[in-house]
Structure 1
Amino acid sequence: MTVDTLKSKIRDSDPLRSENITPTLPNPSLKVTADHTIRLEESPVLMPKKGQVLIHVKTTGICGSDVHFWKTGAIGDLKVLGDCILGHEGAGLIIGVGEGVTNVAVGDRVAIEPGVPCEICHFCKTGNYNLCPDVAFAGVYPYNGTLQRYMVHKAEYVFQLPDTMTYSQGALVEPLSVVMHAVERAPLLFGAGVLIFGAGPIGLIALEVARASGSAPIVIADISSHRLEFAKSFVPRCETYLVDVSRTAEENARRIRKLYGLSERDAPATVLECTGVESSVITACFAVRRAGVVMVVGVGRPVMNNIPFMHISLAEIDLKFINRYHDTWPSGIKALSEGIINLDKLVTHKFPLEQAVDALTFSSDVRNGSIKVHIVDDEVAPEEL
């Protein structure tokens, strides 16, 4: 359906905003507010402008950052200063295209890369567009996200899904991209040990990527025995370590190292720290071998005061970090569609869009035992009428 056809189907009731479709086309959206509330309400449907597409969002995964924005109103310098539609792990169906769009067409099923960089700054021009200071990132105030029925997005940042992939798998490309960028900066070595801290969604994806990369042995650590049991069922050949919170970081690190062998050479060459918790980062620094790499993937407190600086220095440990990802969607789609990795088991719960508030509430309570919650929308879109 072209934009003109879509406009002819739906009366435009706001002459001052010709890009808006009348609200008579329902667009339920999950919004977070500056005073830490979430609510489901109707939002206007925007028409795609030049270079944009209109997407019927079919699936969105809930991320820990969505919960952070709701509960605390900020992640670092990213603050919720007004109403904002959450969600950035999305996939859906193209139902409208703006002028000049050639990479996708109406009827295409796509995964959505949520960040749209400025494309003119130094970082964009050098390929590091994930570091663009002016990125418009879906679900981060003031940019609305994927937890709505219909959203407009720049066509360059949507990627066609093969028929073999589901919308749920398409939505998993975003958290997979986080791990892909991490292992690009801290390569997993075939036949070399890797240690993963955190058996949440990102840690579990890292576990599966490590398996597919030929890392050995693989150990995953967490404070939750339930999460570790899930990890063992997800990737049976991994080893698990239940972190003893009554012990120091160095004590836990020594116990973890024994799972790899007794020599320094046997210690893990790469540690993927997927929690962002200060004590976990410290343990990772003591667990990695000399000249190894600790890649901090998790989002933590703005300031950490107890990082063992001299230990890291004397051991020539590379302590690295990531900021989202770049150029990962084509490879991520290929890895999933060709069965190189399989992340289906991570989606433990699904909710309809109309129950998005319940879904976010459920996801935020660790007692519910969810790994990845997906919000799905099976409503009939205009192109399906």
Structure 2
Amino acid sequence: MAEKNLTAVLYKANDLRLEEWPIPEPKENEVLLRMGCVSICGSDVHYLTKGHIGNFIVKEPMIIGHEASGVVEKLGPGVKNLKRGDRVAIEPGVPCRTCNFCKEGRYNLCQSIFFCATPPDHGNLSRFYVHAADFCHKLPDHVSLEEGALLEPFSVGVHACRRAGVCLGSNVLVLGAGPVGLLTLLAAKAMGASKVIITDIVAHRLELAKKCGADYTLVIPKGATVEQVAERVRELLETEPHMTIDCCGVDFTAKLGLQVTRPGGVHCVVGMGADQVTLPMVNATFREVDIRNCFRYCNDYPLALELVASGKANVKPLITHNFTLEQTPQAFETAISGSGNPIKIVIHCNKQG
């Protein structure tokens, strides 16, 4: 193959380089993908600016990017579920398939999982990339490669709603209107929630939330107390939410969620904003509010794709900025600076992307 494989490689904090890497060869049950779109995640920005997330440290050069889609270029031996030319969404976490967690159907907890752009595993912000065929989800003709890339963060929202138990008639409080919060809002409405209220400290994000179907939006004023915000949530909903999905993960939202969720309800934590938070456990215990954690996703890509393909969830309004692969440094500069109020920034790796 005469083409070159332009690749975005993170060497250490604040050292992201565009380099030509060899085009990889697919092994058994793998496919070579001509990459379409890769959207920037907050974790990508954190690795770039800090060089680590918790115990995951960039010690060796790492290809960045994990919210992605592409087109099948070549089949490795044994691949039967795809053919050349298929357009796919790439589920970035490939588990071992043999441990107890995998066998129990909770492969997101697999301790040997390969996950794109999580040290030491390479990501896929490049012209060409090889991935396990069974973790490539074929896109219908009417679903774009941009939407395919956004299936990754949307699957987080779908998983959160499933963990929280969102169903027909649910009243849901979403804390935080960043990308994951907005996608959780979309998932909740598509899965039958009756009313969804979403909060944030940034007004322009809540304007987009209205376009995404939020029934109520609430800007949290500077200096507001948990009690004041909780009372305002009750006033808007005219009841207490069945479940709260916390996409921030800080002290304030943890306390708010546990205080305002109805007795017997669920407080589901998605956002990882602080290593430790203080919880009002006695209050939550008296009212039997369940606390559930949410990590990535598991068996959620098919539902996420169905919601997008059916038109029940429109993720396209979240795409606010587009760049080419050659413009990757500018794309990350925009993500870091917040210039132009970005929500989802999409990098197009090839012309057809």
Structure 1 length normalisation: TM-score? 0.88
Q: Secondary structure at the match of 1:124?
A: helix
Q: CA RMSD in A?
A: 1.6
- Displacement of 1:380 in angstroms is 7.5
Q: Which one-letter code corresponds to 1:283 in the other structure?
A: L
The residue number in structure 2 matching 1:378 is 350
The residue number in structure 1 matching 2:211 is 233
- Displacement of 1:367 in angstroms is 4.2
Distance in 1 (alpha carbons) for counterparts of 2:170 and 2:95: 36
Check if 1:270 corresponds to 2:270: no
- Tell whether the 8 Å contact from 2:9 to 2:61 is kept in structure 1 after alignment: yes
The residue number in structure 2 matching 1:353 is 325
Residue among 199, 209, 212 paired with 2:190: 212
- Displacement of 1:136 in angstroms is 0.6
Check if 1:319 corresponds to 2:291: yes
The residue number in structure 2 matching 1:13 is none
Deviations 1:38-96 (A, max 9, x none): 22222222111111110011101111111111112222222222211111111011111
Q: Which one-letter code corresponds to 2:217 in the other structure?
A: T
Residue among 93, 96, 109 paired with 1:118: 96
Q: Secondary structure at the match of 2:147?
A: helix
Distance in 1 (alpha carbons) for counterparts of 2:34 and 2:236: 48
Deviations 1:147-167 (A, max 9, x none): 111111111111111111110
- Tell whether the 8 Å contact from 2:175 to 2:246 is kept in structure 1 after alignment: yes
Deviations 1:254-281 (A, max 9, x none): 22222122xxxx2001111112233222
Deviations 1:209-232 (A, max 9, x none): 222233232211000011111211
Distance in 2 (alpha carbons) for counterparts of 1:141 and 1:88: 12
Query: Structure 1 residues 38 and 243, CA, compared in 2 at 3 Å: closer, same or farther?
Result: same
Which deviates the most, 83-92 or 245-254? 245-254
Distance in 1 (alpha carbons) for counterparts of 2:103 and 2:349: 37
Q: Which one-letter code corresponds to 2:145 in the other structure?
A: Y
The residue number in structure 2 matching 1:366 is 338
1:115-154 equivalences in 2 (<5 Å): 115-154=93-132
Distance in 2 (alpha carbons) for counterparts of 1:201 and 1:234: 12
Residue among 107, 122, 147 paired with 1:169: 147
- Tell whether the 8 Å contact from 2:127 to 2:350 is kept in structure 1 after alignment: no
The residue number in structure 1 matching 2:232 is 255
- Tell whether the 8 Å contact from 2:147 to 2:316 is kept in structure 1 after alignment: yes
Q: Secondary structure at the match of 1:45?
A: coil
Distance in 2 (alpha carbons) for counterparts of 1:342 and 1:213: 13
- Tell whether the 8 Å contact from 1:30 to 1:357 is kept in structure 2 after alignment: no
- Tell whether the 8 Å contact from 1:278 to 1:300 is kept in structure 2 after alignment: no
- Tell whether the 8 Å contact from 2:156 to 2:184 is kept in structure 1 after alignment: no
Which deviates the most, 360-369 or 291-300? 360-369
Structure 2 length normalisation: TM-score? 0.95
Distance in 1 (alpha carbons) for counterparts of 2:95 and 2:69: 19
1:1-385 equivalences in 2 (<5 Å): 9-10=1-2, 25-235=3-213, 238-261=215-238, 266-304=239-277, 306-379=278-351
Q: Which one-letter code corresponds to 1:252 in the other structure?
A: V
How many residue pairs were aligned?
353
Distance in 1 (alpha carbons) for counterparts of 2:341 and 2:352: 32
Distance in 1 (alpha carbons) for counterparts of 2:92 and 2:210: 31
% identical equivalent positions: 37
Q: Which one-letter code corresponds to 1:365 in the other structure?
A: S
- Displacement of 1:314 in angstroms is 1.7
Deviations 1:137-196 (A, max 9, x none): 011111111211111111111111111111001111111111111111111132231111
Distance in 2 (alpha carbons) for counterparts of 1:217 and 1:334: 22
Query: Structure 1 residues 367 and 245, CA, compared in 2 at 3 Å: closer, same or farther?
Result: farther
Where structure 2 has 5 or more consecutive residues not aligned to the other structure, the ranges are none
Deviations 1:341-360 (A, max 9, x none): 11111111110011011111
Q: Which one-letter code corresponds to 2:42 in the other structure?
A: G
